[in-house]
Chains A and B, each alone.
Chain A
């Protein structure tokens, strides 16, 4: 029997086809493993590598900033400008003025502070805005009794007119406002503006208390410190909507979402792999 026999000629192309099948099968297995790995990494570590976009899984880009016109972004514990050192009445006459340039509060003074929360993330967040109030006299932090004597009242609203504290014509005593905790939703790449209004009524109804506070401050500085604290947490539905879009014309790809291409490739690749395995198993069993 020579090497050029017809049987030898028919066996070579078949062997080559089997080799290619095995090669393609291995390629499919590797590709399938890569896709699966990418998905697991994206979904499991997305929060820790927030800017990582894992090909077919949109990475979570989490970034929430708070700021006002003067301070583009608050740094934690930053001093902001809520109070003033000089106030004028409705006629434009200065009726309250600091002797040393420091900020003041007094009967008849009103303050309005505007700030905004920017959710630059591609996921929705739940946020909370809280107030913290502190009174010191001569450098000594005062107790709740002194805090309750401060006649300051507040209300907090959003640009859309929703009141987180108080109501349109209703101020809440600051001691009561501290315990108000209300959560709201802010969508991906959206912002919400807030207005914090503070007032010390000229006719507070307790002139004796107002006078005593003023006398105390004349003897040793009576200071009030107001803190605005914001907290934002990723919403369980990253696609939830709330607030105003930062760029209304931009379509936001929500973080953490699986791109359909990934699922499609995964399914096709798996189907092809199953076909290969089935074909090979069939051939193998036929030989047995």
Chain B
């Protein structure tokens, strides 16, 4: 029997399948291993230094002062708290001063550009007496027909008028004492800002530049007092070292008459008057209670004529600039 392989397709099919398997196996043979790689790089930076410190020390006002000249006149001026005033209040008076004062110190060397800005309290105010003629109306006793009353005054409708008629036993006559003419607004407290050289160790007798001015309620005057130190710009790595010293004094040998009037008003005297040139009369000067800003104002004829209170507030800010 001849086995005709040409008609037996089994082997051919088997061989074909084997071939396909071989090809497919190689074609789809692959690996589950995958290429992977990683890289990294870094950089480090330091936060720029700031490190500016601001400190304040000292006081400006007190309840009593040492080494102060105490002047006395008929009404007396003292430098201690008025008994009618709360003991917690600080007082100022002619002859008082504060040489040590109030210090503001800025230190540091930042790595960024900066700006120093100063600001005074919006309600800063100081003692002053407006231009005008003042005095004290004191009742005169022992007036009779024989007394020359031509220089006396009578109180009519709240105003003091010069006597124009004859003596009247039922009338109270007043005499003007301590007459004072203030020719220009009088601000007795003299402020001094000393800009200290931080490299100087002893600041008690240093020749550091000082700026002095008498100021009253206008904060722009305070700005002039500090001058360039109101706003100061600093470059990167420029030390911000700044020392400001604020002192004040009320010169006892200023305007004695005005000091007396202010002293009487501060002491609570109620018979202080101011001349009204329009009506040729003297009008009483009345002291109001402290307002919202803490000012104790004296008014005469409806107009503000004096401030009997001093407030000093100062702030400084240092910030980075872009």
Chain A residues within CB distance 8 Å of chain B: 32, 35-36, 39-40, 43-48, 50, 60, 62, 64-66, 71, 74, 76-83, 89, 93-99, 102-109, 115, 121, 123, 125, 132, 202, 207, 211, 213-219, 221-234, 256, 258, 263, 266-267, 270-271, 274, 277-278, 281-282, 285-286, 288
> Which residues from chain A contact B37 at a C-beta distance below 8 Å?
62, 64, 231-232
User: Knowing that A96-B113, A223-B46 are A-B contacts, what are 18 other residue pairs whose CB atoms are under 8 Å apart, sorted by A's residue number?
Assistant: A36-B22, A43-B30, A45-B31, A74-B40, A95-B113, A98-B46, A104-B45, A104-B111, A105-B46, A106-B111, A123-B35, A215-B50, A217-B48, A228-B41, A233-B34, A233-B36, A266-B23, A282-B5
Partner of B51, one of A77, A78, A115, A215: A215
Q: How far is the CA of A79 from the CA of B42 in the complex (A)?
A: 5
| Contact indicator A121/B35 (Cβ below 8 Å) | yes
| Residue B110 CB within 8 A of the other chain | yes
Partner of A66, one of B35, B39, B319: B39
A sample of 7 cross-chain residue pairs with beta-carbon separation below 8 angstroms, ordered by A number, consists of A44-B29, A62-B35, A76-B40, A107-B320, A215-B51, A234-B36, A282-B5
Partner of B47, one of A106, A115, A225: A106
Distance from A222 Cβ to chain B, minimum over Cβ atoms (Å): 4
Distance from A31 Cβ to chain B, minimum over Cβ atoms (Å): 13
| Contact indicator A214/B51 (Cβ below 8 Å) | yes
Partner of A99, one of B5, B26, B237: B237
| Contact indicator B108/A78 (Cβ below 8 Å) | no
DSSP majority for the A interface? mixed
Q: How far is the CA of A39 from the CA of B28 in the complex (A)?
A: 10
Q: How far is the CA of A274 from the CA of B12 in the complex (A)?
A: 7
Most chain A CB inside 10 Å of its own CB: which residue of B111, B320, B321: B111
Q: How far is the CA of A243 from the CA of B22 in the complex (A)?
A: 38
| Contact indicator B50/A222 (Cβ below 8 Å) | no
Q: How far is the CA of A281 from the CA of B15 in the complex (A)?
A: 12
> Which residues from chain A contact B322 at a C-beta distance below 8 Å?
89, 95, 107-108, 202
| Contact indicator A234/B110 (Cβ below 8 Å) | no
| Contact indicator A227/B35 (Cβ below 8 Å) | no
Measured CB to CB, the nearest residue on chain B to A33 is: B22
| Contact indicator A97/B41 (Cβ below 8 Å) | no
| Contact indicator B42/A77 (Cβ below 8 Å) | yes
Distance from A1 Cβ to chain B, minimum over Cβ atoms (Å): 28
| Contact indicator A234/B30 (Cβ below 8 Å) | no
| Residue B27 CB within 8 A of the other chain | yes
Q: How far is the CA of A263 from the CA of B98 in the complex (A)?
A: 107
| Contact indicator A94/B236 (Cβ below 8 Å) | yes
> Which residues from chain B contact A45 at a C-beta distance below 8 Å?
31
Partner of B26, one of A39, A223, A226, A274: A39
Q: How far is the CA of A103 from the CA of B46 in the complex (A)?
A: 6
| Residue B207 CB within 8 A of the other chain | no
| Contact indicator A77/B41 (Cβ below 8 Å) | yes
| Residue B44 CB within 8 A of the other chain | yes
> Which residues from chain B contact A229 at a C-beta distance below 8 Å?
38-40
Q: How far is the CA of A107 from the CA of B114 in the complex (A)?
A: 12
Partner of A95, one of B11, B41, B51, B112: B112
**Chain B 35-72 against A: per-residue CB contact (8 Å), 1 yes, 0 no?**
11111111111111111000000000000000000000
> Which residues from chain B contact A62 at a C-beta distance below 8 Å?
35, 37
| Contact indicator A74/B41 (Cβ below 8 Å) | yes
Most chain A CB inside 10 Å of its own CB: which residue of B27, B40, B48, B50: B48
> Which residues from chain A contact B27 at a C-beta distance below 8 Å?
39, 258, 263
